[in-house]
Structure 1
């Protein structure tokens, strides 16, 4: 019996479509490009207030300017400042727009995808993760969830999964887990179970108040999270992924 519920399957079963609060129609491409450029310029300046102000309401209510500032500082330490950026493609759907861009730093260029609502506010983003070990990304993801930084955690999900799951959905899923396991205590270890294939798997051993369990974090080949399995019953072992 499978006692774990993949995060993507959970979202689809709940009928969560369209992600955070969406406007009735997408921006014209020229306006989406301009809105994307405002965000890119704010990132280059490390302007946390400007980035915060451009977040969609569902993201903004679950983070703070200080958390955005801390995330920008972490990025600066990891990859250095953004020296330049350019938008490579803009596409508009029914109710959101996708802005594809490149960020150039001292170590080279990295792709960034921004998803904007009908008012040009940021719904989600996807940053290339290929230069980071999946073990590190999984640890970062679970740590962010345990600290309530669901906006940061959600940014590590593949873009399609971000469209299905709002930050509040992700926060509620973690709270539901803690109802079963007790409050989070600490991470005890991280093991790469499968690497290099079309699906990669990392087991994050997590100690809660009443139980210690492995949380399964599933990746695509590019290092984006495509699924997370949480235990449904802490008294019984989780079934292996299919």
Structure 2
């Protein structure tokens, strides 16, 4: 089975006019996929993401061995072992206790099957079929030249776009930036690292105040290729809408955090 080629983002010209007008107001904290015609997600990552280790990509055999070690650690639910397999970039925004907290919310991994392996310049992407206590799921593991995990992406094509957007914002709001980045397409992960995603969320909260809750998520526009979801989010100073753009596979290919959030009105 070959590695699925994730399509590069296109301009959402077929979204509703109102949705596009709203989206045009959300500038300054925008994250979108660069145009990468003909370049699959794994190759884009290989050219831009080495996980802080300047080494050539793993061989197919070494990548399969590293993926098996990582998945064995996930199955063991050992947070210290799991954390030790992170790249330096991921370690900088995580800790064993955060890994343990994340593991408590995830289904138990029962078994797995390695599918395809795609080598880039400095990273290797391994496609895996997981059998978990919640059912089957496909995941793409991105490994650096040291055999450490520097990124991943879970296939959520069978879920509603609004639910994926809610899960993404929930991960951001709880400080689980590695998990949040896993909702991004592999192409978009090649454009933004975990530290940058964390910085942009923190920059938003400097304007809005601390996160309080997600009120609802609404699919404001859609086409055959893309969905625009507005996540109505309450902060302690004000409430605002976060824009999340997903492709047909429910991979997040664009994010807009408003640079000029709605100013809270005075009580009359």
Which TM-score applies when normalising by structure 2? 0.77
Classify 1:107/1:205 alpha carbon distance in 2 versus 1 (closer, same or farther; 3 Å). closer
Alignment equivalent of 1:231, drawn from 258, 263, 266: 258
| 1:103-142 matched pairs, under 5 angstroms | 103-105=130-132, 108-142=135-169
Deviations 1:88-123 (A, max 9, x none): 122211111111111124665321110001101101
CA distance in 2, matches of 1:70, 1:40: 18
1:67 aligns with 2:94: no
Runs of 5+ unmatched residues, structure 2: 1-20, 35-44, 264-268
Q: Which residue of 2 aligns with 1:4?
A: 26
Q: Is the 8 A contact 1:22 1:96 kept in 2?
A: no
Q: Which residue of 2 aligns with 1:29?
A: 60
Runs of 5+ unmatched residues, structure 1: 11-15, 237-242
Q: Is the 8 A contact 2:142 2:151 kept in 1?
A: yes
Moved over 4 A (4+): none
Alignment equivalent of 1:18, drawn from 22, 40, 48: 48
Classify 1:235/1:103 alpha carbon distance in 2 versus 1 (closer, same or farther; 3 Å). closer
CA distance in 1, matches of 2:104, 2:84: 18
CA distance in 2, matches of 1:39, 1:119: 13
Q: Which residue of 1 aligns with 2:79?
A: 48
Classify 1:148/1:45 alpha carbon distance in 2 versus 1 (closer, same or farther; 3 Å). same
CA distance in 2, matches of 1:72, 1:99: 21
When the two structures are aligned, how many residues end up with a matched partner? 228
Alignment equivalent of 2:118, drawn from 82, 86, 91: 91
Q: Which residue of 1 aligns with 2:249?
A: 222
Q: Is the 8 A contact 2:58 2:147 kept in 1?
A: yes
Shift of 1:196: 6.6
Shift of 1:195: 5.0
CA distance in 2, matches of 1:209, 1:150: 21
CA distance in 2, matches of 1:109, 1:235: 42
CA distance in 1, matches of 2:198, 2:133: 35
1:168 aligns with 2:195: yes
Which TM-score applies when normalising by structure 1? 0.84
Corresponding residue SS for 2:105: helix
Alignment equivalent of 1:204, drawn from 213, 223, 231: 231
Shift of 1:24: 3.1
Classify 1:166/1:87 alpha carbon distance in 2 versus 1 (closer, same or farther; 3 Å). same
